[in-house]
A and B are shown apart, each in its own frame.
Chain A
Amino acid sequence: MRTKTETNIQLGHGGGGLLTREFLDRHVVPRFATGPLEGLPDGATLPALENGIIFSTDSFVVHPMFFPGGNIGDLAVHGTVNDVAVSGGIPRWLSLGMILEEGIEQDVVGRVLDSVAEAAADCGVQVVTGDTKVVPRGLCDGMYLNTAGIGERMPEFDLGAARLQTGDVILASGTLGDHGMAVMAAREGIEMAGGPVSDTGPVHRLVQAARPFATEVRFMRDPTRGGVAAVLNELVEDAPLGIILQEDDLPWSTGARAIAETLGFDLLHSACEGRMLMACAPDVAGLILDAWRAIPEGNGATAVGAVTNDDAGRVLLETCMGGRRLVDVPQGELLPRIC
């Protein structure tokens, strides 16, 4: 049986001394210390990549740490892997920074790191460097994570809002807004059969599936904070083009809709953490959808809208009633600490 000091994180676990060594031996070495992290060097030595690199970072403060469908650990991997992937990179290496609150249970840290390891393996990335700090009780809410990711650039992708053309098709890789509603339901203690489950997951295989059609892909993004509305508004903000979405084609899960209707949220504003939005030329849209639907993370893929040359700079929704309305950008933060 472990004593209390062993079951909970102490300030000393982040102090750089013997307790830190114990922490690393217990949590980090068994999970990550192969390859560049073997021997726990201060920095990872990595090979050069021929086509250049894509580099991204993200911090994770989600509350609660555990939610239906995932936890802060897999979220921290998926978040950065997805940013690298939608930028046209093959994710390769991750850093992992941990800020722990004094008193958090070591078992909780272990469960989160198990999720980090599993998600990293699934994404084909290695955790190659990291850092742990402990702050006094009350100065952080359990655990915050930061990951930075390096990927190898795929030169065939040439992405950007400037490449958008009238008639381009907007694709979604699956149901939208699930993560935001799952976290919201968990936070509010709403338990219901068939309730929302987070979509946290990687999109790198979706990017790979679309790679044969890369020259016809204009834009890729995982719609996280601000949801679909924020991503698409940003895309056409300064463009001479607009986007029209079809409400009847938007893929929602029943659980996410139930929470959104009950609490009065617009699912277009709700975050995803494992979905992709893509704008591509119409002649490859069907081919990309077929390729996506052939892999598990894309089985709910569908076309949701199109790029138009009227209504420049605006995202509109053709509603289930047949009228049109503006899809606005969320005012401020819809759900704080969603990721």
Chain B
Amino acid sequence: MKYLDGFRNGKAAKALTARLKAAGERLDAQGKTVQFMEVCGSHTMAIARYGIRDLLPDCVKLISGPGCPVCVTDTGYIDAAIDLGKQGHILATFGDLVRVPGSDETLAQIRAEGARVEVVYSPEGAVALAQDNPEKQIVFLAIGFETTMVPGISLVKIAAEKGLDNLTVLCAFKLVPPALAALGSDPEINLDGFICPAHVSAIIGADAYKPFVGPRGVPCVVAGFEPLDVLYAAVELAEQAADGRAELVNQYNRVVKPGGNKVAQAVVAELLELCDEPWRGIGVIPESGMQLREAYAAFDAVKRFGLKLEPGRPHPGCQCGEVLKGKITPQQCPAFDKGCTPTHPLGPCMVSSEGSCAAYYKYVRREAGAETMEVSK
């Protein structure tokens, strides 16, 4: 536990908080208010769990971005999966996705009505389902960022090796840098820096953020998930903002290398190719997703079942899109803690354990003066 305690040291936190305060005073003197986005869901949870927002000067804001893979999964993708389940195919998925609302229902609801939705703990679980149910088609719901792409598509190679012809993947892989570019150029959001994700960066490398920094860019800090990691990132961003600098700092260099994980990158390059990808609440971002290459089309559920993914219809009371873009805080959504709670979520940000709304619900809940109103289901 000594290793962990080193990253939760109160004295170090006090020293960093003092630096943050000093940077805040310099920003105040310049009449600046800055907002930084933490992109990763685990950062969102760490910030809430350790009460790090309380330590920020008034002129420094941390806003939560689209860094939870479940949260950014488009409603239309859930609808397509639900259709496949209703046709009698077996869906293999990680647990978080089961309760995410589609346009009309969730995977949990169709499971209760008899559809086979199997929660697996690794893609190998889907391979086992395929072997045990040769008369059935198994569809693995492959969502996630760069971190989970390799495990997600590894089953394609396994299926090819084993000659399994009843296993496909329904891909909705997403890339973080294009999302940062889209958010960074949105004039309505006005970001002054990014806390870049930890484990995504372990795959793509810290150098992936170089295009975002420099004279026309914003500061970027790759940070770990412990509270001092995140606090340090906030200090570094605030100091750079006060200095008028925009540099790349890899605070999480105990895990993240400048060039990333070359082995994982090679697997991705072999199996996947770029595609335009819809992000829940954000819309289609060009070349922000990855789909199976033509050579592996036999394992692509979209092609095997002739699917056409249509835009879904999120619940009208759900403002996950605005939350994901950092335009509102979870408590500013009228549904937060009213129609939408972790036990009865209207949108994905309340479902996933990494979702912004779930983090605020668990660790913050209400803020003085925050107005909420009833939302009908």
Contacts and interface: CB of A to CB of B under 8 A. Distances in A.
Interface in A105-129: none
A257 B365 CA distance: 26
A246 to B, nearest CB: 10
Interface in B170-195: none
A326 B364 contact: yes
Instruction: Describe B's contact surface by its main secondary structure.
Output: helix
B8 A328 contact: no
Contacts of A314: 365
Contact of B363 (A261, A322, A325): A325
A309 interface: no
Interface string B26-60: 00000000000000000000001111111100000
A313 B49 CA distance: 19
Given A257-B1, A258-B1, A331-B343, A320 B362 contact: no
A321 B364 contact: no
A318 B342 CA distance: 24
B13 A320 contact: yes
A321 B4 contact: no
Given A261-B4, A328-B362, A323 B10 contact: no
A254 interface: yes
A321 B362 contact: no
Nearest to B341: A331
Contacts of A325: 48-51, 363-364
Given A248-B10, A331-B343, A323 B362 contact: no
* Interface-centre pick from B10, B48, B50, B362 (highest chain A CB count, 10 A): B50
Interface string A240-264: 0000000010000010011001000
A34 interface: no
A326 B49 CA distance: 8
Contacts of A326: 362-365
Given A254-B1, A319-B227, A322-B54, A328 B10 contact: no
B231 interface: yes
A319 B9 CA distance: 11
Interface string B104-148: 000000000000000000000000000000000000000000000
Interface in A289-320: 314, 317-320
A188 to B, nearest CB: 13
Given A257-B1, A258-B1, A323 B364 contact: no
Nearest to B228: A321
Given A254-B1, A258-B1, A331-B343, A321 B363 contact: no
Contact of A331 (B49, B55, B342): B342
Contacts of B364: 325-326
Contacts of A324: 51, 54
Nearest to A194: B1
Given A248-B10, A325-B363, A326-B364, A319 B4 contact: no
Nearest to B343: A331
B50 to A, nearest CB: 5
A153 B276 CA distance: 72
A249 B8 CA distance: 14
B14 interface: yes
B144 to A, nearest CB: 18
A179 to B, nearest CB: 19
A325 B8 CA distance: 15
Contacts of A248: 10
A322 B1 CA distance: 20
Contact of B49 (A254, A319, A322, A332): A319
B17 interface: yes
B10 A321 contact: yes
Interface string A328-339: 100110000000
B365 A320 contact: no
Contacts of A254: 1
A324 B227 CA distance: 13
Interface in B53-99: 53-55
B55 to A, nearest CB: 5
Interface centre among B54, B342, B364 (most CB of A within 10 A): B54
B365 A322 contact: no
A321 B342 contact: no
Interface string A264-308: 000000000000000000000000000000000000000000000
A30 B159 CA distance: 63
A95 B17 CA distance: 57
B134 to A, nearest CB: 31
- Which of A318, A322, A324, A332 counts the most B-chain CB atoms under 10 A from its CB? A322
Interface string B8-24: 11100110010000000
A321 B227 contact: yes
Nearest to A318: B51
9 contacts: A319-B49, A321-B13, A322-B14, A323-B53, A323-B55, A325-B50, A326-B364, A328-B363, A328-B365
Given A325-B363, A326-B363, 12 more contacts: A248-B10, A314-B365, A319-B50, A320-B13, A321-B50, A321-B51, A321-B228, A322-B54, A322-B55, A323-B51, A323-B54, A328-B361
Interface of A: 248, 254, 257-258, 261, 314, 317-326, 328, 331-332
Interface of B: 1, 4, 8-10, 13-14, 17, 48-55, 227-228, 231, 342-343, 361-365
Closest 6 CB pairs of A and B: A323-B51, A323-B54, A325-B363, A325-B51, A321-B13, A321-B50
